[in-house]
A and B are shown apart, each in its own frame.
Chain A
Amino acid sequence: MNKKAALFVLLGSILAPVTQAQIKHIEMRVEGMT
């Protein structure tokens, strides 16, 4: 059981940075908007 828990923690620490990686915010300066 402890081995399973350790495996989950290990997998979580490996996958977490990848799943959180993404575009956080976009800002555009536009012309011709009325």
Chain B
Amino acid sequence: MKQHLGRQSGVQNVEVSLIDGKVQIVPKEDARIDPPQLLKAVYDSGVSVAEMDVTVRGKIVKDASGSLALQAEPNQSFTIAPNELSKELESLANSQTVVTLLGQLYKKPPGKKKPETSAPLKLLILEIQRKE
């Protein structure tokens, strides 16, 4: 699995802990990394992902439907799932403030083995780490 993930574009380093069942991925500087592609790569190596958390830095924007999203790069954004923490970010929508968030991008639905990589992943904010 480590080799499988290491071959994905934008991945700099992969650390696998067999004891905790955790996989840490460090993306390359200035490279685009595709979380659904990583989910698929893990599944293809015969392991199922229970949860995927990301630390991501970007700007808060409001999309056409009025939902909040985190613009990580000009061509990559994550729709933010509404919760108490997302309310704090509403005032920053379309501003120049850059935020660093810890969020959950994927959680395996009960009973399902295969991840739905075709469905867009929503970012559930767990912690607002920094506003700058």
How many chain-A residues does the 8 Å CB contact rule pick out?
18
> What does the 1/0 interface line of A11-33 toward B look like (CB < 8 Å)?
00000011111111111111111
Chain B interface category by residue count? 35 or more
Q: How far is the CA of A23 from the CA of B73 in the complex (A)?
A: 9
Total contacts A to B, CB within 8 angstroms?
A: 104
CB of B33 within 8 A of CB of A25, answer no
**Chain B residues whose C-beta falls within 8 Å of the C-beta of A17 in the assembled complex:** 59, 96, 98
CB of A27 within 8 A of CB of B53, answer yes
Contacts A22-B72, A33-B1 given: A28-B49 contact, CB under 8 Å?
A: yes
**Chain B residues whose C-beta falls within 8 Å of the C-beta of A31 in the assembled complex:** 21, 47-50, 108
Chain B, 56-83, CB within 8 A of any chain A CB: 56-59, 71-74
Q: How far is the CA of A31 from the CA of B16 in the complex (A)?
A: 12
CB of A24 within 8 A of CB of B57, answer yes
Partner of B57, one of A22, A26, A29, A34: A22
**Chain A residues whose C-beta falls within 8 Å of the C-beta of B9 in the assembled complex:** none
B127 sits at the interface (CB 8 A): no
**Chain B residues whose C-beta falls within 8 Å of the C-beta of A34 in the assembled complex:** 18
Identify 6 residue pairs between A and B in the complex whose beta-carbon atoms are under 8 Å apart, listed by A's number.
A20-B98, A26-B52, A26-B55, A30-B49, A33-B21, A33-B47
Chain B positions near chain A (C-beta within 8 angstroms): 1, 16, 18, 20-27, 30-33, 35, 38, 42, 46-59, 71-74, 96, 98, 100, 108
